A = this chain, B = another copy of it.
Amino acid sequence: MPTEAIKMRLEPFKVACSNCNLRELCLPVGLTRDNVDKLDTLVANRRNVARGDTLFRAGDAFQALYAVRTGFFKTCVSSEDGRDQVTGFQMAGELLGLDGISNDSHSCDAVALEDSQVCVIPYDQLEELSREFTELQHQFHKIMSREIVRDHGVMLLLGSMRAEERLAAFLLNLTQRLQARGFSASALVLRMTREEIGSYLGLKLETVSRTFSKFQEEGILEVKQRQIRIVSQDKLQSLVNGANC
């Protein structure tokens, strides 16, 4: 498309959904090209977050949503008495900050697990734009709803699965999302510690470690610190399905 080629040459580094390679995974999913162009008016700047830094914290005023462009995040909530719980891990193309809408303030922390970059999506502008065109509105609602469905899945996991099943489900979910981003379905590098995995899965870090070791002994995985290779996807899947019970 010549006009686009020209545009690319003239504005080669413009921050824009229309020339982002994540547009098939991110907010613009399902939007027509014209509509993605409209989105560009909204998503005008990015923010870098170094490993270990927070994108936002519980209590911060809510102003924008963030789309992960590169890198990896965790979100965690904490109770008054200091316990905290990882509520999710977010990778490229996933949205952060939806919790903030309810109260005009965030209710969890978002921490970068590696040097990361996010697109800033000012929330009032998103509302405005999604009043103007249906597609965006609908897509946004789907993303929120998907988050609710995901959370219900985690509740099922936390409420009724045993350690092995939890870890298996976790790994399958991770690889599935990585695969959608063009990575291998069978080899991955964990971005989080055993403790963070444990917090997410409602287990202690020792249990996570032991379960990794067990999977290795059983020939399901190869584990070298954070390098994981899935040897038998089938066995992993059958653990989740409870086929062996």
Contacts and interface: CB of A to CB of B under 8 A. Distances in A.
B144 A141 contact: yes
A239 B149 CA distance: 30
Contacts of A108: 152
A84 to B, nearest CB: 8
Interface string A43-69: 000000000000000000000000000
Given A101-B144, A127-B137, A202-B159, A81 B245 contact: yes
Interface in A67-106: 77-85, 87, 98-103
A31 to B, nearest CB: 16
A158 interface: yes
Interface residues of A, number: 52
A210 interface: no
A151 B151 contact: yes
Count of this chain's copies in the oligomeric assembly:
2
A148 B98 CA distance: 8
A159 B85 contact: yes
A226 interface: no
Contact of A158 (B98, B142, B146, B155): B155
The 5 closest A-B pairs by CB, nearest first: A101-B145, A81-B242, A151-B151, A159-B202, A158-B158
Interface string A212-237: 00000000000000000000000000
A138 interface: yes
B99 A156 contact: no
Contacts of A159: 85, 158, 199-202
Interface string A118-156: 000000000100111010011001101111110111111
A117 interface: no
A144 B101 CA distance: 9
Contact of A102 (B102, B107, B137, B148): B148
A26 to B, nearest CB: 16
